[in-house]
Amino acid sequence: MMKLYWSPRSRSFSGLWILEETGQPYERVLTDISTGAQKTPEYLAINPMGKVPALKDGDVSIAEAAAICAYVAERYPDAKLAPPVGDPRRAKYLQWLFFAPSCIEPALIQIFTKLEVPSSTAAWGDADQVFDVLDKALEKGPWILGDTFSAADVIIGSGLNFAVKLFKMVPTRPSFDRYIEACSARPAFQRATALAAG
């Protein structure tokens, strides 16, 4: 059985959500970052970066929220959380799956810290560009791949919910509101929210 190492009020939410989407049993291991539990030698053996979430699946350990989403989607193919290898949609799926840690998270740090970085040298461009690109991609919907929900929606939806709804760091847009509402309506999202609240 998979073990998810998680903490409330963290990017662990995406790990909870993706595992709830599978419908498979898993164990939650509270790793409360407010107490420094992520810095113990035992936890650092699982994730040397000392961050949550992390996942153990037998002898396999994996960290980083997007990587966990990708791993879980492939581990449970019957949940249909990723286009299979050879499916033309897989290219965009991978692009959006990694857009969250590569672009959304740095853009949020830029907004929060008011960091001035020339867009020509910042790997993510700039925050306005990140959210303009995401806005355009979500216009058609209902999901980032159109009609197909995937693990990319878990990671993008988690990030947007955090940025727009919970912490109001990013101004709302019609496409964001519709998308967050669609994500929030999923039973797995609701179960993950309840679990994250403790």
Domain ranges of the chain: 2-80, 89-189
Query: What is the residue whose two structure tokens read 């499916």?
Result: 87
Kindly tell me the sign of the dihedral angle through the C-alpha atoms of 15, 16, 19, 21. Answer: negative
Beta strands per DSSP E along 31-183 = 54-57, 60-63
Query: What is the residue whose two structure tokens read 């979430």?
Result: 53
Span 2-80: which CATH code? 3.40.30.10
* Inter-residue contact 57 to 75 (CB < 8 Å): yes
Kindly tell me the sign of the dihedral angle through the C-alpha atoms of 67, 70, 73, 75. Answer: negative
Instruction: State yes or no: cis peptide before 41, omega within 30 of 0.
Output: no
2-80 and 89-189: identical CATH topology: no
Give me the pLDDT at residue 125, please.
77
Give me the pLDDT at residue 10, please.
86
Instruction: Report the distance separating Cα 171 and Cα 188, nearest Å.
Output: 26
- Give me the tens of pLDDT residue by residue for the chain, a chain 198 residues long: 999 999 988 889 999 999 999 999 999 999 999 999 999 999 999 999 999 999 999 999 999 999 999 999 999 999 999 999 999 999 999 999 999 999 999 888 888 888 887 777 667 778 889 999 999 999 988 999 999 999 999 999 999 999 999 889 999 999 999 999 999 999 999 999 999 987
Statement: 89-189 belongs to CATH 1.20.1050.10: yes
Give me the pLDDT at residue 3, please.
98
Instruction: Report the distance separating Cα 14 and Cα 120, nearest Å.
Output: 30
Give me the pLDDT at residue 111, please.
85
pTM of the full predicted structure?
0.94
